[in-house]
């Protein structure tokens, strides 16, 4: 573990998974070039815009200024950034993101083959936003600091990311730092270490849960959209309770592997049914769960 709290430069973009895994080990971060085609990006972008407009119309949308994590208040006019949660329910174009072949092997490299989806949501940062605090995803979500990764995150770039557009800011190499508190991490010294990434839309950023990061300041005049897909080791309770929140008609579209990743299978002896630790992802609750019986 590093004793000097110094950042590394970003690793170069790559399309090679072996190289990407090496980058994850060294930097805690990798950037996958051409993870998605221009057509795929356009479909996701249009669906996000439609979804947010619909959520606004029906009064269920989520908007922020960005710096609420500091305990600051903001007016509705200042809330220029948009959040769209639980994307699995909100378009077939998002379902492949659960276990995308160019991304999921990197998640398994970080936290192992048994994973559970923590959350999937869009961060649509508006121009004129403010920075959120630098933070680690793994802690305090998991309230006990751990010296090994139990969480991994992905940002799918639906927009070009740059310093001007408020590209995601990370501190490469910070996964090897000793524990520092949030006050220290958000001092000017460490804020300056977190640089906005520069990468084209269609790329994907993958990082492990101990990397310090935050959003960037968007001053481009346009909305910058990324999709966050976070994963945990399967023994940790996720942010999104997918067994509760994913709609029935969506579950029917998922493969057994995707159902497993969103939590429809046990981890060891945890999370089974009727005492079973081998419950399949395709378990039918209505037919197979044992109810009231009499001899």
* Any domain includes 187: yes
My answer on whether 205 and 222 are in the same domain is yes
Say what the pLDDT of residue 70 is.
87
Q: Is 284 or 74 the better-scoring residue by pLDDT?
A: 74
My answer on whether 166 and 254 are in the same domain is no
My answer on whether 141 and 252 are in the same domain is no
My answer on whether 267 and 132 are in the same domain is no
My answer on whether 142 and 271 are in the same domain is no
Residues of the domain holding 258: 241-283
My answer on whether 275 and 162 are in the same domain is no
List, for residues 2-36, the tens digit of each pLDDT value: 556 899 999 999 999 999 999 999 999 999 999 99
Query: How does residue 145 score in pLDDT terms, banded at 50, 70 and 90?
Result: confident
Question: What's the 3-state SS for 118-169?
Answer: EEEEEEEECCCCCCCCCECCCCCCCCCCCCCCCEEEEEEECCCECCCCCCCE
Say what the pLDDT of residue 147 is.
87
My answer on whether 104 and 176 are in the same domain is yes
* Any domain includes 218: yes
* Any domain includes 295: no
Q: Count structural domains, the chain.
A: 2
* Any domain includes 293: no
My answer on whether 55 and 148 are in the same domain is yes
Q: Is 279 or 93 the better-scoring residue by pLDDT?
A: 93
Query: How does residue 278 score in pLDDT terms, banded at 50, 70 and 90?
Result: low
Number of C-beta neighbours around residue 248 at 10 A: 6
List, for residues 170-209, the tens digit of each pLDDT value: 999 999 999 888 899 999 999 999 999 999 999 999 999 9
* Any domain includes 140: yes
Q: Is 211 or 144 the better-scoring residue by pLDDT?
A: 211
Number of C-beta neighbours around residue 69 at 10 A: 16
- Residue partners of 24: CB distance under 8 A and separation at least 6: 30, 106, 109, 110, 206, 207, 208
Please state the rounded mean pLDDT for residues 150-167.
97
Report residue 60 as tokens: 């269920």
Report residue 238 as tokens: 């996720």
My answer on whether 48 and 170 are in the same domain is yes
Burial state string for 87-104 with b = 16 or more CB within 10 A and e = fewer than 16: bbbbbebbbebbbbebbb
* Any domain includes 160: yes
pTM over 0.85: yes
> 207, 208, 191, 202: which is closest to 225 by C-alpha?
202
* Any domain includes 163: yes
Query: How does residue 104 score in pLDDT terms, banded at 50, 70 and 90?
Result: very high
């Amino acid at each position: 573990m590093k004793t000097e709290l110094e950042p590394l430069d970003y690793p170069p973009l790559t399309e090679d998974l072996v190289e990407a895994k090496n980058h994850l080990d060294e930097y805690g971060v990798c950037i996958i070039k051409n993870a998605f085609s221009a057509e795929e990006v356009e479909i996701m972008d249009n669906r996000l815009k439609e979804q947010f407009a619909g959520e606004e119309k029906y009064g269920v949308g989520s908007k922020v200024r960005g710096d609420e994590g500091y305990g600051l208040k903001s007016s509705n006019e200042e809330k220029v950034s948009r959040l769209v949660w639980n994307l699995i329910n909100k378009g077939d174009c998002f379902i492949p993101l659960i276990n995308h072949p160019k991304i999921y092997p990197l998640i398994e490299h970080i936290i192992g083959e048994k994973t559970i989806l923590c959350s999937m949501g869009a961060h649509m940062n508006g121009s004129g936003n403010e920075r959120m605090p630098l933070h680690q995803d793994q802690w305090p979500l998991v309230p006990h600091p751990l010296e090994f990764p139990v969480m991994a995150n992905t940002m799918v770039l639906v927009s070009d990311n740059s310093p001007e557009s408020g590209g995601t800011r990370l501190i490469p190499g910070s996964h090897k730092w000793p524990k520092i508190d949030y006050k220290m991490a958000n001092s000017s010294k460490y804020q300056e270490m977190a640089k906005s990434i520069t990468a084209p839309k269609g790329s994907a950023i993958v990082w492990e849960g101990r990397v310090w990061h935050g959003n960037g300041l968007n001053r481009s005049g346009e909305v910058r959209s990324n999709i966050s897909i976070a994963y945990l080791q399967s023994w940790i309770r996720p942010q999104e309770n997918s067994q509760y929140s994913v709609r029935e008609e969506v579950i029917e579209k998922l493969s057994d592997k995707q159902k497993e990743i969103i939590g429809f299978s046990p981890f060891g002896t945890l999370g089974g049914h009727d005492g079973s630790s081998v419950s399949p992802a395709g378990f039918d609750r209505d037919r197979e769960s044992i109810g009231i019986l009499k001899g």
